[in-house]
Structure 1
């Protein structure tokens, strides 16, 4: 795939709001998955890393007033963001992070962060696998969801 040049030229900096930075991260990741050219993949990784670095300090700050209206709805949304990979893919994520930690190639701080991520992912994964799937009713057993 030939990624749109707009992804490489769209300006953003420390004045870009967190919503736009989050949108950037999403677009860079989507393009990264599809891109086949190694140089363009590396450039997308750089843009993603920069967006994430700019985004992180904003996450603990109050939402600016000018963005509050954009994040306000009149009715509870039916769809909420969730992390829901297929179980086999989720397991693969955990395996790959484990192998990365075993390899010892990460700097100590990066290894700690990846260990934290692995802890969160495996806990979520285990909870998902152990989640009830059927409900016993007077009419018999029914599939949940």
Structure 2
């Protein structure tokens, strides 16, 4: 609703893309790829946004997604994701993460950068750099976790590195 001093009419049926994104449910029922997609959308929106309130909301949502992901990374992968992460032929060098750390550490880096932004103590220039770094780290995390990990040997699954797989996390 418009306030008494306003000459604009409120139009509740028109919502910003950010508002709709923030209303999208987020929870433990999401699989790893759904969480990654949500975090990537939040990071994309964050880097393009100058509205302080929306940035804080996006940071809060990104942090929530990263925290839900913490448990998801420890759980066994569902069959449909195993299929998406499995290839028949591979050159192992094609699927190397550009940084030499595990996905949980990379997730923690994203959490730390998000918390720095939520604390809101940085200068405008620092905020731009931190937001850019967070955007890059989230995209690295997404690329790393969506990269093929398994090869179908005909006798079962093996890690791309060659070791046999018994339980898949």
Q: Which TM-score applies when normalising by structure 2?
A: 0.43
Q: Which TM-score applies when normalising by structure 1?
A: 0.49
Bigger RCO of structures 1 and 2 (CA < 8 A, at least 6 apart): 2
